[in-house]
Amino acid sequence: MTETITIEPVAPHLLRSLREHVHERLRRAIVAGRFQNGERLNERQLAEMLGVSTTPVKDAIRKLESEGLVRTEARRGVFVLFSARQALEMALGRAAIESVMAHIAANRISDAEIRDMSRLIDDMAHATEHSALEDLVNLNEAYHGAIHRISGCTYLERRLDGQRMYDHAQRIALLGEQDERRQGFVEHQGIFEALAGRKPQLAEQRMRSHIVRSAKSHVRQVFGSDAEGLAYDE
């Protein structure tokens, strides 16, 4: 009998193009505060740091400009456009949209979807306890994505597309800290309990509080004293 030969599939991250990798590296560096707001970016220096030619760097900069993270000035160059105020404003926009989606999801969630989310919460608890950062980031995004799907608000979900890169980078930064992992899990569990109890107003309030709190923590983490004076109270 002929033995079946199996070959492991190529890891998804290896399928991405060089341009995508360069774009993500630069984007993450900006959102993590590696560059100062208003700092001029030198394409040749960036290419040397990344070990690539200037072509994928130029492509990445064009995408970063469309995302609002850099600006290009004629005959002057490319400048970083990311401040503590902008980061907080992006988070407030996300909080407004996602809290509404949580409200709607609490009215629409089915028993089967509650069971699915309960399993997701169990997986998040395990990842939180074992400090599995990559797993926890992925589970975090799956959790919010599940609420989006349950809400059925495809229009509102598209409004979030422009800042997913910020949300992803924020999760990586915050979930690297033990206290944040635990606090985030408690908040996610609380949102789930409101959804499972079909309490739309509570789900909305808890989602808004979770996003605003974590965003303020990230702003302080990245910008330090520059974040003072940007208070937002519920």
Residues 206 and 91 in one domain: yes
Residues 18 and 128 in one domain: no
Residues 171 and 73 in one domain: no
Residues 90 and 69 in one domain: no
pLDDT of the chain, 234 residues: tens digit per residue: 556 666 666 455 555 688 888 998 898 888 878 898 999 999 999 999 999 999 999 999 999 998 888 999 988 999 999 888 888 888 888 999 999 999 999 999 999 999 999 999 999 999 998 877 888 888 999 999 999 999 999 999 988 876 776 777 778 777 778 888 899 999 999 999 999 999 999 999 999 999 999 888 888 888 875 555 555 555
Which tokens hold the place of 138? 């992925």
Residues 200 and 221 in one domain: yes
Query: Last residue of some domain: 37, 61, 80?
Result: 80
Query: How do beta strands 77-80 and 70-73 pair?
Result: antiparallel
On whether residue 190 sits in a domain, the answer given is yes
Count how many domains the chain has.
2
Residue 123: which of 151, 99, 146 has the closest Cα? 146
On whether residue 215 sits in a domain, the answer given is yes
Looking at residue 130, which CATH number applies to its domain? 1.20.120.530
Residues 53 and 96 in one domain: no
Q: What is the pLDDT of residue 206?
A: 98
Residues 72 and 153 in one domain: no
On whether residue 194 sits in a domain, the answer given is yes
- Residue keyed to tokens 């995508």: 20
Residues 66-107: pLDDT tens digits? 888 899 998 899 999 988 888 888 888 899 999 999 999 999
Distance of alpha carbon 194 from alpha carbon 173, whole angstroms: 27
Residue 88: which of 203, 184, 187, 228 has the closest Cα? 228
Which tokens hold the place of 175? 């979930």
* Overall pTM surpassing 0.85 (yes/no): no
Residues 69 and 95 in one domain: no
Residue 70's DSSP bridge partners are 80
